[in-house]
Amino acid sequence: MILRIYSLNPYCSGRIFFGATFDREHLDTRTTEEGKIALFDAMTRLSPALIHSTLIDHQANIRPGTLDRRPFIGRHPEHGQIAIFNGFGAKGTLQIPWYSRHFADALLSETPLLASCDLRRYFEKYGST
């Protein structure tokens, strides 16, 4: 199954970042011509003026997610010097600003993290790795 999510985000002067596609069958970081064409077609449908755009870079990555679809945030329970902020999946663009403030508060003032995002929930359920 391929799920396409399109967002048009300003990147820097005169440039935009556009993406993304999902292919749950091929979990690798190889770009595809099919993905590039699908994104370019969607971009020009959203904004026909972009038909004359020049592609500067084409990337593919794996978007990290968690089994319960909630982020992993907090200090590693066995290695306290390591802090983790990951697992946002497809909703990262929307969620990261709020969770980054929440995590900063937890790190700077030792405010407890919400149980729903605290990575300890994973270690309590599955143990250490």
Residue 100 is predicted with a pLDDT of 94
Q: Which residue has the tokens 């020009």?
A: 44
Amino acid at 76: H
Q: pTM for the full model?
A: 0.58
Of 30-34, 78-82, 120-124, least confident by mean pLDDT is: 120-124
Over 80: is that where the pLDDT of 104 sits?
yes
Instruction: Convert the pLDDT of each residue in 9-52 to its tens digit.
Output: 555 667 777 777 877 787 888 888 988 888 888 888 888 888 88
pLDDT band at 78 (very low <50, low <70, confident <90, very high): confident
120 close to 74: Cβ distance less than 8 angstroms: yes
| CA quadruple 9, 12, 13, 15: dihedral sign | negative
Over 50: is that where the pLDDT of 4 sits?
no
